Structure 1
Amino acid sequence: MGHCVSRRIGSAAVCGLCLLFALGGLGCARREPVPVAPAAAPAPPPPAPAREVVICKIERETAYDRGLKAYEAGEAKRAMALWREAAGDAELAVRQKALFAMASVKLSQAGSDAELAAAMEMFDAWSKKSPPGGSGEDARFLVPLLKSYKPGFALKEQKASMDRDCAKKLAEREEQVRRSLQQQVKALETIHQQIQEKKKGLTNY
């Protein structure tokens, strides 16, 4: 009897241990492994600062530049002579700027049809060789010309005003001539009447 009880107790203990192990296994199966973050890669070193390269461009002083200084100093004749020299420069931009300067000054100073034609001919030579965007011509040379420029509508109004003034002056002159003629006619009539009266007096004797 005692052996049977001990065996039953042992069997029950074994069953209990098996049950505990089974429950423990289920609990372990439900646990998920914690992900481990990878180690951060070391930051790359900062790039070395770039070296600044300074390029010095030495520009030559051309005859055009000297002419510009002379023109700004009021020496127009000397400026034109220097620009004529610059018109034969090897660099196209220098030649174009010189032609534009000479044409602009000649056009603003033109006092006759021949001078105007010479200036326009120089402008034509400049425009035929002018590249797209120009060659850096100085637009200040056109300022004197623009100050004296009058658009077409202003010229028409000026002509109409001059015509009205001429018509008014002509009418006034005609009125003066008419009055003068009337006075002369009256004077002649008076003289004629006096002569006739003298003739009558002579015939009475």
Structure 2
Amino acid sequence: MSDNTSYQKIVSFIYETGLLNRFKRSGFDFLGSGNQNISSHSFRTSIISYVLAKRLGADSSIAVLLSLFHDIPETRTGDINHFQKKYIEKDELKAVSDIADNFPELKELPEMINTFNNGESIEAAIARDADVLELIFTLKEEHDTGNHQAEIWIKDALKRLKLDESIKIAETALSVKSYDWWMDILKVNR
């Protein structure tokens, strides 16, 4: 592969990942509020993974990488929500295999997606729980700004958490208002 071809593949991949800035998480259309894009979801999921991995003594680098890349297939498959999954089957492995094809820097991508989806290692379990926790945090923010339907979604999401540490974080997140952190800093009387 010529050096120019290598740079072209890198540039193409980076532009492709830019789609995740524009692609909205499709479930929010059903919720009736919120417009989170996939990139912001993946970013906060990665932050949550880092914290969980540190607390659980797992390899935070692996957990963060799994979280950072877990939605990369959606550049080609789109974000298919839980309702749509009843009717649509997406082939994430084909999507990431096509992305990684002839791209040595991404040769681990299909394995990362498989690891995330299987959830068998502690780092994969952390990344999967972080994915759900990020949804719970976002739903709580929607609830706190007036969307009471979010409460139903939160109850469903809580059932998907596997790790005790994740459950404790979710319970704590649900016991406060999503804006308490900054009001406490400013000592705002409520």
TM-score in same-fold range (> 0.5):
no
Q: Which structure has the greater CA radius of gyration?
A: 1
The TM-score with structure 1 as length reference comes to: 0.24
The TM-score with structure 2 as length reference comes to: 0.25
